[in-house]
Structure 1
């Protein structure tokens, strides 16, 4: 009998796991609202705009460029609000990047150790960060070897300094490998589905917002990235409060990171005291 009981329990465990996986992959239903997350990139340079972003719903995450002169102050303020903070890491682009002018980019040829040292510096500039996403980076994120070294450096950062980061692929170019390689390496990861303000005109932002909600309803969840434009912030101030009546739930971006194949959880938020 004990052997038969063990066999039954194993069978039930397998059934429970199968049901859980099916439910996770199902589109949103009336009982399970579509979920969206919003990340505002490029913070760290414009005090008035950045401060206004910190007035948005606290489930809106901020991604701060470590080179920005306001990075330390903003990251502490955001964490004090219980808002999620990401390092917005500059990477080289194909046609355009900020590497020569206002940002220090991780270069594709760097070793994992050098990348990890740069990431450690970034975590000191962007305190309380629990994740990382790329600023620009179309050349870097399509280079498989460079992406593998970056992912290795994120793992190295944890082993050397105890700093754990999830990875959000900003997906600035089709064919970006960042999410794919991060997940293979055992890091919780996700990708951007909609840019809210490629065109910062209000009507274009409204169209992108509708697209975000449509994608979330189809997939069950979706991630948007915006920027600290006045028009973007004003739009979010007006439209985030209306999500509930549309049957859509705004969640912190960490809630939409896919667990790694190794079962590693998303790192807990490091909150300010």
Structure 2
């Protein structure tokens, strides 16, 4: 019987070695694959995160730009809104078929177009004789811990668009209304809707072609002046302050001013001197009767250029700081209203007040 051959230990050992190495190789391949997967995945996640962060930065940057643009558009829109409202001042209104003799709330438009009315008052120079501004009021420098006060009066208010333009500023500005006339029949009605206002009373000028009806003249009697003041009081029952419209001749006449101040005192109305002439006798007459003198310091719109009006607003603020108070006068024209709107930050240095709060 033949003998069975025994398996070679050497061959068996080689087989096991190959097998182990093969398994190790496979494990290494799998490990490398898994490691590569996770490394690649993490790298991809990091790349994706970076992309997301980059997108977010771009998004935030765009949002910021949009917000800035939106703010600019809003600011521009606000300015345009003011401009649009101011255009009403120059907008031609149709003539009413039959103007009512007695103005009422349904008849708030002028029998003339607003454009025709405004054309008579192109700038503040119509107030001052020969367009020469009188010198500033001589006053002592006031050193006080109180904040300086500035009162801004807008003269010639006579139609609804003037009122709307001033109110659009949302500032404490005193409106001074011209008395009713054929050109502006509803000025008193418009004033009655305000809690506080002044009257801009026409007085004789040295030379002014577009004189208002019922203008007070230097040769008017005391009785006639008293009668006119009483008429004003009936038209404007709440009036406490009154300033002169033109009046370079009237206010320079001491006798005429004496008659007017006495009539105003009788009706408990304070006179505010528009100072359309350097020869005004208002201060002298008021002192005679121990009455307070209030006079204009600055005309804002002697020239109808917005840059000029802005410079005059700054001057008015400086006068208020120097003397403790100041009075500035302007008119309801687009450049004046626009300049006031742009000066709101400047008014932070003073207390902008109505004239009765000086």
- TM-score band, normalised by shorter chain: 0.7 to 0.9
Greater relative contact order (CA < 8 Å, ≥ 6 in sequence): 1
Gaps of 5+ in 1: 1-24, 159-163, 257-273
Pick aligned residue for 1:39 from 140, 153, 163? 153
Residue ranges of structure 2 left out of the alignment (5+ in a row): 1-139
Contact 2:153 2:328 in 1 (8 A): yes
Residue 234 of structure 2 aligns to a residue whose secondary structure is helix
SS of structure 2 residue aligned to 1:40:
strand
1:241 is displaced (CA, Å) by: 4.9
Are the counterparts in 2 of residues 91 and 137 from structure 1 also a CA contact under 8 Å? Answer: yes
Aligned to 2:101: none
Q: TM-score, normalised to structure 1's length? A: 0.73
Off by >6 Å, runs of 4+ in structure 1: none
Structure 1 contact 92–106 (Cα < 8 Å) conserved: yes
Q: How far apart, in 2, do the equivalents of 1:240 and 1:127 lie?
A: 32
Contact 1:61 1:86 in 2 (8 A): yes
Q: By percentage of residues, which structure has more strand?
A: 1
Query: CA shift at 1:123, angstroms?
Result: 2.0
Q: Which position in structure 2 is the counterpart of 1:95?
A: 207
Matches within 5 A, 1:79-158: 79=195, 84-96=196-208, 98-99=210-211, 102-156=212-266, 158=267
Assess, with a 3 A threshold, how the Cα gap between structure 1 residues 28 and 98 changes in structure 2: closer, same or farther: farther
Over 3 Å counting, the alpha-carbon distance change for 1:124 and 1:55 in structure 2 is farther
| Deviation of the 1:190 alpha carbon | 0.3
Distance 2:227 2:210 in 1: 20
CA displacement at 1:26 relative to structure 2: 5.8
Question: What do you get for the CA RMSD once the two structures are aligned?
Answer: 1.9
Larger radius of gyration: 2
| Maintained 8 Å contact 2:310/2:340 | no
Aligned equivalent of 2:173, options 60, 67, 82: 60
Task: Give, in whole Å, the separation in 2 of the partners of 1:49 and 1:252.
Answer: 17
Q: Which residue of 1 aligns with 2:356?
A: 254
CA deviation string 1:205-260 (max 9, x = no partner) = 0111111111111111110000000111122123235412xx2111221222xxxx
